Structure 1
Amino acid sequence: MADGKGAARDFHDPRIPDRNQCVLRYLVDRWAVERPAKTHVIFEDGEEWSFLDLRRRVIEKAAGLQKLGIRQGDHVALWLPNGPDALLAFYAINYIGAVFVPFNTAYRGALLAHVVANSGARVIIVHPELAPRLSEIENAGLTHAVLTTRLEVPDFGLSTSRFEDLSGTEAELLPLDRPIDPWDIQSIIYTSGTTGPSKGVLSSYLHMFSNAGPESWPMVTQDDRYMTVAPIFHIGGMGPPFVMLARGASVAVVNSYSTDTFWDVVRKTETTVVFLLGVMATFLIKQPPSDRDRDHKVKLAFMVPFTDDAPAFKARFGIDIYTIFNMTEISSPIVSEANPVKRGTCGRPRPGVDVRLVDRNDCEVPVGEVGEMIVRTDRPWGMNSGYNANPVATAEAWRNGWFHTGDAFRMDEDGYFYFVDRMKDAIRRRGENISSFEVEAEVCAYAAVRECAAIGVPSEYSEDEVMVVVAPVPGATLDMVALTEFLVARMPYFMVPRYIRVMSELPKTPSAKVLKGDLRKEGVTVDTWDREKAGMRVRRESLTQ
């Protein structure tokens, strides 16, 4: 096997596992020897890769990346929808000790320019339908694009090659500068900012292992197959392949969630574990009952948030329900038992983490009162390593030696935690975290808008809808349709506001800060324009595979 240092252990802290337990390169090598014929990944079209086949494919692309000049520690951007190319690129990047930096496929304009500049990447692996957006921004350090598929792409300012042409043999694979350590950075995942632009979360291999590995989620075993429908640029999409790799287990990679085809895909892929985020469980339980409701191999589901639908879901589909609280920066600190009976709970702290609820001065609040959740782990590197190229945000989040989640919780006398609200201004819509700061920046770019406040208002389905309250430039009249069309061209589909309310002046404090709490309390007023009622629906763009 290439670089036989994976099994070496030159650190002695019992909290740190061996490299071949938590570092992707050594896991790929290990399972190719120990479980060569076992399926590691199955795709929606039925294609399967065994661990032996996976290693061959990964080494071929890893050597190809090295021929482009990518070396250990380099940042490599990936801008692809889910599928074989995305997963293979992810593994190949980490196999040579480079840092995996995926971008949201909905990014464009200012958001795209920000993550490109922040990423520090000079090579991007990109879908040809997305590549033209790069010509609309300053490309910062990007110099080369690796394109998937054979679609023709107009010039967008970078040298190019084809992903299918990235190849090399194991003999051509260059040796690492040093063994990849558990605390080395594995990925940078962008999560929406609330007081500034999106932040890149620095995650080590040990952070990813701790996030949902065998110790954190003991209910998931080496015999399971975990289906991921979340995009690979989210922790919910790139995490499952990694944590199942850590178990020597299997993952089903699906393009996206569809209520109509969900159970068919579950059956086809022989999935045993699913993650039901946001409204997914609600949509599934509202489907007409079928005599095939229990015709599947799923044994457990993670339901986040844990809703009143849980008992009915278990009874109908015969699946044990768990719930958790997690975010990109932390490592599943709150996990429930099977089928919790406490309504609305997120669970209790898992072993190895400390969780406190505190006031604005980091003083612990009494049981039953609301406070901000702060977290730390017993294991070094068990959570994020800060924010990429953002020391101010890192220091703020990690003040007093604890990571501050920015989320408000309460705890009952039995130690169960309950999510209350976001202490930040983030908006969550259909599983996407949205920065109010970024929404406001795009709305204010419209010539007739003087100022804007973006807020979340309750959705009739679950989570939030995006609402903006705007004050026009004096003398200007706002055309809601024209403003919406302007935003559709500039921002991801999930950020486009559904509701627009016009006020001559936004309510403010004496220090000129907008009183968003007052606006949230008023919510959707009679004079608020509703994009969906006006017949304007914004949908996810479909990318050719």
Structure 2
Amino acid sequence: MTRERDFADPRIPNRDECVLRYLLDRWAVERTDKAHIVFADGEEWTFGELQKKVRAKAAGFRELGVQQGEHVAVWLPNGRDAIITFYALNYLGAVFVPFNTAYRGQLLEHVVANSGARFMVVHPDLVPRLAGVGLARLERLVVTTDRSVDGAPLPVTAYDDLLGDPADELPLERPIQPWDIQSIIYTSGTTGPSKGVLSSYLHMFSNAGPESWPMVGEDDRYLCVAPIFHIGGMGPPFVMLARGASVAMIDNFSTDEFWSIAKATKSTMVFLLGVMATFLLKAEPRPSDKDHTVKKAFMVPLTGDAAAFTERFGVDIYTIFNMTEVSSPIVSEANPDKIGTCGKVREGVEVRLVDANDCEVAVGEIGEMLVRTDRPWAMNSGYNANPEATAEAWRNGWFHTGDAFRQDEDGYFYFVDRVKDAIRRRGENISSFEVEADVCRHPCVREAAAIAVPSEYSEDEVMVIVAPVPGREIDPRELAEFLIDAMPYFMVPRYIRLLDELPKTPSAKVMKAELRAEGVTHDTWDREAAGMRVRRESFSA
């Protein structure tokens, strides 16, 4: 049955297709007994049950004083409290503002101030970090669990006490619109103060809606392995809510337990960020490698091991380019055979690759990716309380991603590097991404980060920081010999540093700024000091 349209513009979906409150109410009627949220311990929440939980918690937040459109800070790890808080705040038309659970000190003070929140929902273990930190407009803490909290810097309300009658109507001042702000997601903050990305309901819908991710259907179950303060963690529940489908919420990614949890939760799809796919592929093979329910996986980035991953685990691979600010502008078909690609431009999106002056580069040349969409409000609405950063990113009517790409003659895009992470060595521009990909092909390397360090000859030297596959050891000389045969001479790292694990944010991004600040340490191996020099090949005419 065709529903009457809410808006004259056909590009804008109905409210009950893209606004959380109306979506939940719709499915609670149409799919009352279908599971929407499942947990690793086997508990399931149907749409009907979830609606009651959400309405009861929303009534509690309303009694506390949370108003429609108000920003509410949420500082929680993944779990039941986090997902109910997310849904309940949006049910009131309030803005969900999650904080990274690694925040502390000045960075924590920055996001508290930037959020403009009066209320913070917080795990008790995080409360001590608020001591001695400027709390800006914060008035009250809502603390989860029934544990007592000593020395809290603000009045405390117990989260479990925020419960109202799920039968309450919870009237709104006005209907929640697709262009209203749903969330503020903070960028990783590894290279400077975090920016709060303003995302509307329509932005979140466009991020992984039917036109963005056509391979995802109402019968799929999405295994969410990222923290809820990351777009990769808060996006999946909304992606599946928009389809009337289900999501499996787990605490975090574990190489050893991944496939067993996927099977136990009957998950059919997963998003593998960063080195997750590498970790899974480099784990010891098991007879049960295909004994699971996963059928589809997004692998970001798409590595040369994609075919081996499909063969070993029986999973179709897709890839994508996305970031918190945009809405999946580049998506691939199943099992792309162009290694390293992110896919092609999806319907409803325009993409340009440009130079430093926003002038388009030729096909095959490297340029910064600029994006805009046909649908209004389908990308970010700017950076919260940061008009300068908003103007810089949105100049000339396009959103500037800060990522360098190239495009081939067939229309496929290839990520080259973050513009700020590019390395220039002896006249050659080097992609840290491509260096890392080659280093990770070594069977003993679990993960790698390539950075620029100062050279005595001007420009940069290439340094890689590597961590081993469990149970194996990395010999720097042997790794250097492997790389000399695998990559152009100018890309071969001069410096190799060994760590048990690379420093990462809780959203699995390597903290390159920290590694750059440490530079060449006393335990770093120097290829040239070891007598291994790599020279340009000469060819006779």
Whether the TM-score (by the shorter chain) exceeds 0.5 is: yes
Distance 1:86 1:499 in 2: 32
- Tell me if 1:62 matches 2:92: no
Distance 2:385 2:235 in 1: 23
1:381-403 Cα distance to aligned partner (Å, 9 max, x none)? 00000000000100100001100
Whether contact under 8 Å (1:501, 1:528) holds in the other structure is: no
SS of the residue corresponding to residue 125 of structure 2 reads coil
- Tell me if 1:329 matches 2:329: no
Whether contact under 8 Å (1:201, 1:384) holds in the other structure is: yes
Partner of 2:362: 366
Whether contact under 8 Å (2:191, 2:513) holds in the other structure is: no
Whether contact under 8 Å (2:78, 2:228) holds in the other structure is: yes
SS of the residue corresponding to residue 136 of structure 1 reads coil
Partner of 2:224: 228
- Tell me if 1:238 matches 2:234: yes
2:218 aligned partner, one-letter code: Q
Partner of 1:288: 284
2:137 aligned partner, one-letter code: G
Aligned residue among 115, 120, 123 for 1:119: 115
Distance 2:269 2:58 in 1: 30
Aligned residue among 12, 29, 52 for 2:25: 29
- Tell me if 1:416 matches 2:412: yes
Whether contact under 8 Å (1:58, 1:95) holds in the other structure is: yes
Distance 1:529 1:501 in 2: 17
Partner of 2:386: 390
- Tell me if 1:460 matches 2:460: no
Deviation of 1:278 (Å):
1.1
Distance 2:269 2:298 in 1: 8
Whether contact under 8 Å (1:66, 1:173) holds in the other structure is: no
1:400 aligned partner, one-letter code: N
Please, which runs of 5 or more residues in structure 2 have no aligned partner?
423-431, 441-448, 452-460, 469-502, 527-541
Deviation of 1:372 (Å):
0.2
Give the direction of change, closer, same or farther, for the CA distance of 1:497–1:205 in structure 2 (3 Å limit): closer
Equivalence map 1:164-243=2 (5 Å): 164-192=160-188, 196-243=192-239
Partner of 2:498: none
Deviation of 1:215 (Å):
1.7
Partner of 2:535: none
Distance 2:21 2:525 in 1: 52
Whether contact under 8 Å (2:368, 2:419) holds in the other structure is: yes
Equivalence map 1:394-473=2 (5 Å): 394-424=390-420, 458-460=464-466
Length-normalised TM-score, structure 2 = 0.80
Q: Aligned pairs, how many?
A: 457
Distance 1:126 1:261 in 2: 28
SS of the residue corresponding to residue 135 of structure 2 reads coil
Deviation of 1:318 (Å):
0.8
Distance 1:15 1:500 in 2: 45
Deviation of 1:163 (Å):
1.1
Partner of 1:276: 272
Percent identity between matched residues is 68
Distance 1:10 1:225 in 2: 29
Equivalence map 1:485-504=2 (5 Å): 495=511, 499=515
Give the direction of change, closer, same or farther, for the CA distance of 1:116–1:358 in structure 2 (3 Å limit): same
Give the direction of change, closer, same or farther, for the CA distance of 1:114–1:86 in structure 2 (3 Å limit): same
Deviation of 1:458 (Å):
3.6
Equivalence map 1:517-532=2 (5 Å): 524=520
Q: Over the residues paired in the alignment, what is the CA RMSD in angstroms?
A: 2.9
Partner of 2:261: 265
Please, which runs of 5 or more residues in structure 1 have no aligned partner?
1-6, 437-454, 463-486, 503-522, 531-545
Distance 2:400 2:517 in 1: 33
Whether contact under 8 Å (2:302, 2:341) holds in the other structure is: yes
1:108-163 Cα distance to aligned partner (Å, 9 max, x none)? 00000000000011101000000111112010001111111122222222111111
Length-normalised TM-score, structure 1 = 0.79
SS of the residue corresponding to residue 29 of structure 2 reads helix
- Tell me if 1:146 matches 2:142: yes
Whether contact under 8 Å (2:190, 2:511) holds in the other structure is: no
Deviation of 1:167 (Å):
0.6
Partner of 2:445: none
SS of the residue corresponding to residue 424 of structure 1 reads helix
Give the direction of change, closer, same or farther, for the CA distance of 1:493–1:285 in structure 2 (3 Å limit): closer
2:466 aligned partner, one-letter code: E
Whether contact under 8 Å (1:195, 1:425) holds in the other structure is: no
Whether contact under 8 Å (1:8, 1:19) holds in the other structure is: no
Partner of 2:307: 311
Distance 2:322 2:509 in 1: 24
Distance 2:260 2:163 in 1: 35
Deviation of 1:499 (Å):
5.0
Distance 1:499 1:361 in 2: 30
Deviation of 1:287 (Å):
1.8
Deviates more, 1:283-292 or 1:300-309: 283-292
Partner of 1:132: 128
Distance 1:228 1:112 in 2: 25
Give the direction of change, closer, same or farther, for the CA distance of 1:244–1:112 in structure 2 (3 Å limit): same
Partner of 2:106: 110
2:405 aligned partner, one-letter code: F
Partner of 2:71: 75
1:8-27 Cα distance to aligned partner (Å, 9 max, x none)? 74421000000000000000
Whether contact under 8 Å (1:500, 1:528) holds in the other structure is: no
2:125 aligned partner, one-letter code: E
Give the direction of change, closer, same or farther, for the CA distance of 1:375–1:500 in structure 2 (3 Å limit): closer
Distance 1:461 1:139 in 2: 38
Give the direction of change, closer, same or farther, for the CA distance of 1:158–1:49 in structure 2 (3 Å limit): same
Distance 2:154 2:521 in 1: 48
Distance 1:221 1:459 in 2: 40
Deviation of 1:171 (Å):
4.4
Give the direction of change, closer, same or farther, for the CA distance of 1:288–1:137 in structure 2 (3 Å limit): same
Whether contact under 8 Å (2:89, 2:95) holds in the other structure is: yes
Partner of 1:466: none
Give the direction of change, closer, same or farther, for the CA distance of 1:292–1:528 in structure 2 (3 Å limit): closer
- Tell me if 1:301 matches 2:297: yes
Deviation of 1:343 (Å):
1.3
Give the direction of change, closer, same or farther, for the CA distance of 1:500–1:380 in structure 2 (3 Å limit): closer
Distance 1:501 1:320 in 2: 39
